[in-house]
Amino acid sequence: MQVMKKKLVLVPLTLMLAMGSVIGCSSGGKETTTGNTPQGSEAPKGPTAFSISLRTLAFDYVEKHSNINEDKWVKELEKKTNTDMTIRLVPHADYEQKMIQMFATNDIPDVVQAGAGTNGKELAGSVQAGVFLELNDLLKQYAPNLLKVIPQEAWDEVSLNGKIYAIPEFLSSNSRRSTWVRADLMEKAGIKQDPKTVDEYMEMLRAFKKLGVENPFMGREQFKYADIFFGAYDVYPYLSQFEKVGDNIQPKFMDSENMMKALGVYKTMYDEGLINKEFATINPTNFKNTILAGKAGMWEMNTQELLQWETQLKANVPDAKIKIIASPVGPDGKGGGYLYASAARSYFINKNAKDKAEGILKFFDWMVTQEADKWFDTTLPVEPKTPEEVSEQRFLSGFLHMVKDDAYRKEILNATPAGKELLKVFETIQPKEGRGGIEFDPRLEAMQKNPDAAPLSDTPPPVLLTAMVKMVYGKEPISNWPKVIDEWKSKGGNDILKEANERFKNKQGVKLRGTEVQSLK
């Protein structure tokens, strides 16, 4: 795996810019353009050479590759787009740390892949600091397909003060995650109807345990991809989920009554052996490997991944079957994963790569054409038979196809009976569930100034996460949750609440995601 080995220089990005430092280390090579030549310009002489940072995203094919820049599919993509890429892989496990280091050391490639929006923690304030190109006019000139295909909601996610700063990989459905269960285990346990309520789900997990399933519910560190029961009680413990209570707004985790109920569910699972005793240390790799070894009964994952995961699971457990069912509902009869932004990932162009912008934009513009869809989606078998084939297909259609609808690929799903069944999930189950809330863009300044109270990506703030794990493990009573809220407030939470309420009342950068908050407009 390729990672950057520059020594970390502890100099704030804004200070470096204030001193007039030059940002960006663009790759070498002779720059030319792709596609049609604008009137009055010289004809293309060769490929556009540019460097690009890409998060490994736990793709097996990527993380196990000896040299991704020599990969046959990368080479083929370069031929099709008249480009010469130098890919810098950013490890998934410590993505934010490596990204912040990249900006601190001034070692910024021509194109930077980041999360949704312009204010992510991994961007370290670089967009506001003027590191990247404003793309409005350049998109009109060189990327008409991007403007035509990508919905306005996704462009809004990567805009600041009306200016577009990135190309978004978009989501046609904000409800991206779902609840997965082993259908074959349900059959063995004699469960004929899908569970709906939390209590019914718990009974299903107990039935799995009686069958000898090692992990009836598959837990994971930081509760990530294992937080579906917080959704049942509408208390996702993230600062991207605010709600209005009386005249004020507050993070949903401040609903102590429902938060304690949700924590009680996880403690019950822990006490009864329905979740791994070491769930708090299970990393993404072990999470997936355990499931694919046939040692889990229920878990949470992105819906579009089902066909690939089932193929990989069947290689180890031939009779295994996975199905997606409606997520557990709580007292209000609702549930589901938290709703995502309309942009999944974003691609920013370094301002020092302006002379390469035409070729780079045409590279991304090609990705939303029918020709590109056909190449990425159908070059390899749409029904891979082995784990190796699955990994390669996911690399081509999921990793290298950087700009697309990342909710689901309708063309692929319609090609097979199994795909058509999964398409029904997107059309029936997904639209009916998911928890939204009040969000802020730009990010609250108080969150950046108070790291102990602010979240790390889509995980709970550190002070909350520590308490949550202790409570599930029985080392601290769940009834202490109000005291945990007080501690969060003392470590910066009060500043966050103050700023959030001021901005909400002044309608400054407020986003309302989900039907339950649309009435606040």
Q: Which tokens belong to 520?
A: 């606040």
Distance CA 34, CA 366 (A): 10
pLDDT band, very low/low/confident/very high, at 46 (cuts 50, 70, 90):
confident
| 256-289 pLDDT per residue, tens | 999 999 999 999 999 999 999 999 999 998 999 9
Q: Which tokens belong to 157?
A: 């996610």
pLDDT band, very low/low/confident/very high, at 44 (cuts 50, 70, 90):
low
Strands 111-114 and 48-55: parallel
The pLDDT of residue 18 is above 80: no
Query: Do 434 and 410 contact (CB within 8 A), yes or no?
Result: no
Query: Do 85 and 29 contact (CB within 8 A), yes or no?
Result: no
The pLDDT of residue 458 is above 80: no
Q: Which tokens belong to 194?
A: 């899908």
Of 331, 328, 294, which Cα lies nearest the Cα of 314? Answer: 294
Distance CA 168, CA 117 (A): 9
Q: Please give the single-letter amino acid code of residue 289.
A: N
* 58 phi/psi in degrees, rounded to 5: 60, 25
Q: Which tokens belong to 60?
A: 């097996």
| 405-452 pLDDT per residue, tens | 998 888 789 889 999 999 999 999 999 999 999 999 888 999 988 988
pLDDT band, very low/low/confident/very high, at 21 (cuts 50, 70, 90):
very low
pLDDT band, very low/low/confident/very high, at 301 (cuts 50, 70, 90):
very high
pLDDT band, very low/low/confident/very high, at 517 (cuts 50, 70, 90):
low
The pLDDT of residue 26 is above 60: no
**H runs (alpha helix) in 279-416:** 284-292, 306-316, 357-366, 370-378, 387-394, 410-413
Distance of CA 171 to the CA centre of its chain: 11
What number of CA atoms fall less than 13 Å from residue 270's CA on the CB side?
20
DSSP string of 166-198, one letter each residue: -EEEE-S-S--EEEEEEHHHHHHTT--S---BH
Q: Given this model, what pLDDT does residue 411 score?
A: 77
By mean pLDDT, which of 21-25, 407-411, 442-446, 472-476 is the weakest?
21-25
Query: What's the CA angle centered on 470, arms 484 and 95, to 5 degrees?
Result: 85
Q: Given this model, what pLDDT does residue 25 score?
A: 39
The pLDDT of residue 488 is above 50: yes
| 242-255 pLDDT per residue, tens | 999 999 999 999 99
Q: Which tokens belong to 232?
A: 């049942």
What are the residue boundaries of the structural domains of the chain, listed by start?
A: 13-165+342-368, 437-520
Q: Which fold has domain 13-165+342-368?
A: D-Maltodextrin-Binding Protein; domain 2 (3.40.190)
Q: Which residues of 14-27 are buried (b: 16+ CB within 10 A; e: fewer)?
A: eebbeeeeebbbbb
Q: Given this model, what pLDDT does residue 36 score?
A: 41
Mean pLDDT score of the chain, rounded to an integer? 90
The pLDDT of residue 5 is above 70: no
Distance CA 404, CA 427 (A): 19
Percent of residues, the chain, with pLDDT higher than 90: 77
By mean pLDDT, which of 21-35, 71-85, 207-221, 415-429 is the weakest?
21-35
pTM comes to: 0.83
The pLDDT of residue 43 is above 80: no
User: Quick one: CA torsion of 500, 506, 509, 514, rounded to 10 degrees?
Assistant: 80
Distance CA 297, CA 291 (A): 8
| 185-239 pLDDT per residue, tens | 999 999 999 999 999 999 999 999 999 999 999 999 999 999 999 999 999 999 9
Strands 159-160 and 163-164: antiparallel
